[in-house]
Amino acid sequence: MSHPHLPPAHDDPKSVPQLDIVLPVHNEARQLAASVTTLRTFLDRSFPLTTVVTVVDNASTDDTWTIATGLAGSLPGVRALHLDQKGRGRALRAAWTASRSPVVAYMDIDLATGLEALLPLVAPLLTGHSDVAIGTRLAPGAHVVRGARREIISRSYNLLLRTALANSCSDAQCGFKALRREAVDALLPLVDDQAWFFDTEVLIVAQRLGLRIHEVPVDWVDDLDSRVAVARTAWLDLCGVARMMTPASRRRTARARLALASGPVPSQSAPTPVAVVSERRETPDHGPAGSEVFADELLRFAGVGLVSTLAYVVLFALLVPWIGAYAANAVAIVACSLGNTAAHRGVAGTARHGLDRSRRLSVGAALLGVSLAFTTGALAVTRALGFDGLAAELVAVTLANLAAAAFRFTILRTWVFRPHFGTHIRPVALPHADPGATDPARPTAPTASSTPMTTSIPSHSSIASTPSISDRTPTRTSR
């Protein structure tokens, strides 16, 4: 499968840092100075790219902002941004929007992720190979030190994302991510969350747009002093997942994908960045390419399941007196599954996904096995409980059929006909980030000067920055 990607940025590395690392903080006065100093020391001594560290204070009520401005005034390559409202997503949105660096990143203030993973994280973005890069604690090669409770919560959440949203990333919540400037411009208008779900929403939208996501296994040591309200955060994440599952959310991303695909024709007078993004394509026999669960599809599937269940009940009731309950169940299941599988094939879009005949037969056999297992088990449990009358058996197999139908739908939509984004691609033009020009849609970051300065940007926020950034000549990795 082709992996769409965004173009390499052409910012002048002498005027703009190649990497802007954002540290969102809220009431972190106790560890802020030590963490920023450690990060800045690592970047100055061991990192081969020009960088700036942006500390974003989320409406702290302690001395966080005072310490942040002090760091910005004393450490080269450190800036401070203040927001009047809380929310990690809001902090990242403000900092990334104000930044002019070709690559932006963020990490947690506790520096739980080993900094050695930073260069592998951003290198594919600078070369243009990938559009989004994330650290992962759940992929082979990662080394993680954390308690069993957090491990279970993390794995359960990522399993939910894979099941409900077809997320292909192994770790959506790791606080160690980076994006190319063009990816930021394409993604942020489509991301609504301002808090902890912001990370997940960025990844899901990037996947739906067909952007290439790079994963880096990291070393991670959990912060024992973490003050995240797990229960409230989990509830808000579940609300975010439910919102992303709606047809409106999917259609919104699909429209954005079409808008990118039908962008302006690149100018021939100068090199213009070109991105490969997914394009909705009509095929002669099977309609629009792609597979997304919409309300009308769900209703059709439910209608097929209802008709099939009613037909099964009638056949079962007619055959039980002649061949017994278990044999009647098997015959009725086989008979109804023939039409049921064909109907589900049309609803789920088998042909659009290019499944051959042998694959369709194997899928049909597997679905038949699911129904047979559910109903046979229901009959066995009913008889074991002493209910052997026809009425009790009809109730049991009807309930089992409904459960099997829901299970089949989950299998079809999650594994068999799993939605794929970015399958149909063509090059389209994207805006070129020019550090020398002022974009009226994006606040301008402060320029170098001899003293720290404060300037206003949207959301009632301010930036304090130091003049100098590391003077090293940056290196780029060739594609």
3-state secondary structure of 264: coil
Q: Which helix (H) or strand (E) holds 109?
A: none
Delimit the domains of the chain by residue range. Answer: 19-265+429-465, 295-416
The whole-angstrom separation of Cα 260 and Cα 425 is 11
What DSSP designation does 150 have?
H
* CB-based contact 143:162 (threshold 8 Å): no
- The domain covering 19-265+429-465 belongs, at the CATH homologous superfamily level, to Spore Coat Polysaccharide Biosynthesis Protein SpsA; Chain A (3.90.550.10)
* CB-based contact 469:50 (threshold 8 Å): yes
Give the other-Cβ count within 10 Å of 352's Cβ. Answer: 17
Environment class of residue 88 by beta-carbon count within 10 Å: exposed (0-12), middle (13-18) or buried (19+)? buried
What DSSP designation does 117 have?
G
Say whether 199 is catalytic: yes
pLDDT along the chain (479 residues), means of 10: 41 76 95 95 95 95 94 95 93 94 95 94 94 93 87 88 89 93 94 92 94 94 70 85 90 87 44 32 37 51 71 82 85 76 51 53 74 84 82 84 76 54 35 44 38 38 42 33
Nearest to 195 by CA among 73, 89, 95, 276: 89
The whole-angstrom separation of Cα 14 and Cα 328 is 78
Structure tokens at 83: 């927001």
Residue 446: left if φ>0, alpha if ψ -120 to 50, beta else—which one? Answer: beta
Structure tokens at 200: 């997940």
Residue 465: left if φ>0, alpha if ψ -120 to 50, beta else—which one? Answer: beta
Strand partners, 80: 55, 464
Q: Are strands 103-107 and 19-25 parallel, antiparallel or unpaired?
A: parallel
The whole-angstrom separation of Cα 27 and Cα 159 is 32
Distances (CA, A) of 174 to 169, 197, 204, 208: 11, 12, 14, 20
The whole-angstrom separation of Cα 231 and Cα 212 is 32
The whole-angstrom separation of Cα 121 and Cα 179 is 10
Strand partners, 132: 179, 213
Structure tokens at 114: 């080993």
Nearest to 305 by CA among 329, 336, 335, 327: 336
DSSP 158-181: HHHHHHHH----S-S--SEEEEEH
Structure tokens at 123: 């290198």
For 440-472, letters b (16+ CB in 10 Å) and e give eebbebbeeeeebbeeebebebbbbbbeebbee
pLDDT of residue 344: 53
Nearest to 206 by CA among 128, 100, 136, 133: 133
pLDDT of residue 348: 45
**Phi then psi dihedrals of residue 13, to 5 deg:** -65, -15
pLDDT of residue 208: 92
Structure tokens at 226: 């973490």
* CB-based contact 352:287 (threshold 8 Å): yes
pLDDT of residue 357: 61
pLDDT of residue 360: 63
Nearest to 280 by CA among 252, 295, 259: 259
**Which residue among the candidates 57, 108, 199, 237 is catalytic per the annotation?**
199
